[in-house]
Structure 1
């Protein structure tokens, strides 16, 4: 657990947790804890039992905003993409008048990268810290979206150039991840919209208006991933078309080869008959002439097929 006094973006470590029970003269307290440490914080800050239960029991929480008498419980999901799978990590936040408690199960990058922003903006209130955290989480969705779009374009190029069976597995997997993520984006967009429009006494009125900009970004992200879903459907159709075209190419080659060997088979069939009087049968160079004719016939048909672009 990390306890800090934040005043105008400057961090001061705090050792005694009981110090945070009363408002500081300036600034606010930021308590960064894991899920297990939340139990020790509950009686000190009067955190509601239902909020604690959600943090302890739900591995993947639905984004939410719950208003209690002395604090707000807000859940948003941070995103990470490793080119194969999308991961969502819940960022649980308890906002009080003079403190912000962040609770996570895994490490979240936004909690580490937020410090320079607090310093630059000279943040001195808990609601402003929460605002910057939500803003950073939402901005990261755009970065992940760019990587997913790049992966879709790369996959499309690979399919058109060299279609493989593994491509279909990758398409299905990535499409499932996008559909699953899209279900989460809706509730998260609504939560951010509530932070903008709902009357919340623990938020500064002027600051609350800035959540409207974050809400617009959340709407754009939802629409973007809707587009990605359509792109994945088009990608699957492109894969199926590519496979069908490849099969047609193979069948065309086989058909052409079969057609080339048909007259050769006809000739060998005739000379394989059990008759004495067949032209060239007893000629000294008959077999050589026949092989030459067959070779010329085969190469001639091959040349015609190539010229007509049948092969």
Structure 2
């Protein structure tokens, strides 16, 4: 019983959950309130890079040009109808740069607000000159928490602008495809590039789900082999992480369904099948994380059933021992009385006889309990 102390499960859960690493999802209500009061476009979130940097890729089937550019650049003038232009912005905290990019590309003020709001749920909006996508990327951060990053995409007829909170490796393989001319990306338009970028984000979800599933498998072994109190705390933590992923994937799927179910001048009919496939993959990810949540719920039930079983076994042993010693205690109590005229007190072998009766009683009750499978 050293490794399995009996305690109140509700008290254990409350104590353990207070020690969890908090999920990286903050509403930033103070910043939102201040922005509403001033009426200005404002950054809602936490600064994650020191300086905003901008990269520009321009490519077609024959050539590719990559360079770092200034945030104040006139991007619209630099774009070419014959080439696909991809502007990638690292960092969202510099409102002036985002506003300049928005002014150059004639982005609606609402779009600029949504780009700067890191709490925005995944969505898609269509305007006269562009499509706007908002999405969250989720990756593991260490061994106990998730890193949630807000990403936005603006899709024009021949350009894509992506906004990231920080520099990361989400799209390194896509850049490599562009530079090395791998796959179809150099032969397709901007709508195909956005599909590839969204697919890269979805891959991050699958990677994170696989990481959580690995931790769940380890928990399963511990629950069956040696259930300890810290297991339930870890299970609740994994549930929170899983629910965070599910809350981000569901609107992501809805956004993809909205793209796939309607015609848009910004997405060619030949590209629709890729968005449909992406939506199917998103549905698969949702089913996978839902299965993970169900598995954790089942593990919780198994844990508490195991806890109850352990307690029942303990109580059964203690009850059996107490029951065996009840008649022995009765016999010892009778002959421990101080009456002067007790017939057995003068018997020469009385002491041995009492021990014999007590021993036979113990053995008899032990055999009886064994046959009843109570021991």
TM-score interval for Structure 1 and Structure 2 normalised by the shorter chain: 0.7 to 0.9
Q: CA 1:75 to 1:108, structure 2 compared with 1: closer, same or farther past 3 Å?
A: farther
**Alpha-carbon offset, residue 43 of structure 1:** 1.8
Matched, 1:12 2:56: no
Q: CA 1:22 to 1:181, structure 2 compared with 1: closer, same or farther past 3 Å?
A: same
Matched, 1:270 2:334: yes
Matched, 1:173 2:233: no
**Alpha-carbon offset, residue 218 of structure 1:** 1.4
Q: Distance in 2 between matches of 1:287 and 1:84?
A: 66
Aligned twin of 2:255:
191
1:152-171 aligned at under 5 Å gives the runs 152-171=216-235
**Residue of 317, 320, 326 corresponding to 1:253:** 317
Q: Is the 8 A contact 1:192 1:214 kept in 2?
A: yes
Q: Is the 8 A contact 1:78 1:89 kept in 2?
A: yes
Matched, 1:134 2:198: yes
Matched, 1:21 2:80: no
Q: CA 1:283 to 1:59, structure 2 compared with 1: closer, same or farther past 3 Å?
A: farther
Q: Distance in 1 between matches of 2:235 and 2:79?
A: 53
Q: CA 1:116 to 1:281, structure 2 compared with 1: closer, same or farther past 3 Å?
A: farther
Q: Distance in 2 between matches of 1:103 and 1:284?
A: 101
CA deviation string 1:154-208 (max 9, x = no partner): 3233222222333333333333443443333222112112222322222233123
Q: Is the 8 A contact 1:95 1:126 kept in 2?
A: yes
Q: CA RMSD in A?
A: 3.1
State which drifts further: 67-76 or 104-113. 104-113
Q: Is the 8 A contact 1:3 1:15 kept in 2?
A: yes
Q: Distance in 1 between matches of 2:164 and 2:57?
A: 20
1:76-155 aligned at under 5 Å gives the runs 76-81=135-140, 84-118=144-178, 119=180, 120-121=182-183, 123-124=185-186, 125-155=189-219
Q: Is the 8 A contact 1:60 1:88 kept in 2?
A: no
**Alpha-carbon offset, residue 211 of structure 1:** 0.8
Q: Is the 8 A contact 2:136 2:149 kept in 1?
A: yes
**Alpha-carbon offset, residue 252 of structure 1:** 0.5
State which drifts further: 175-184 or 44-53. 175-184
Q: CA 1:11 to 1:250, structure 2 compared with 1: closer, same or farther past 3 Å?
A: farther
Aligned twin of 1:2:
54
Aligned twin of 2:19:
none
**Alpha-carbon offset, residue 144 of structure 1:** 2.6
**Alpha-carbon offset, residue 248 of structure 1:** 0.8
CA deviation string 1:257-277 (max 9, x = no partner): 101221221122122100345
Matched, 1:225 2:289: yes
Q: CA 1:304 to 1:95, structure 2 compared with 1: closer, same or farther past 3 Å?
A: same
Aligned twin of 2:4:
none
**Alpha-carbon offset, residue 131 of structure 1:** 1.2
Aligned residues: 310
Q: Scaled by the length of structure 2, what TM-score is found?
A: 0.71
Match of 1:40, SS?
A: helix
**Alpha-carbon offset, residue 289 of structure 1:** 6.9
State which drifts further: 116-125 or 73-82. 116-125
CA deviation string 1:242-262 (max 9, x = no partner): 122111111101111101221
Q: CA 1:114 to 1:205, structure 2 compared with 1: closer, same or farther past 3 Å?
A: same
**Alpha-carbon offset, residue 221 of structure 1:** 2.0
State which drifts further: 80-89 or 36-45. 80-89
Aligned twin of 1:200:
264
Q: Distance in 2 between matches of 1:111 and 1:29?
A: 15
State which drifts further: 79-88 or 286-295. 286-295
**Residue of 45, 55, 69 corresponding to 2:105:** 45
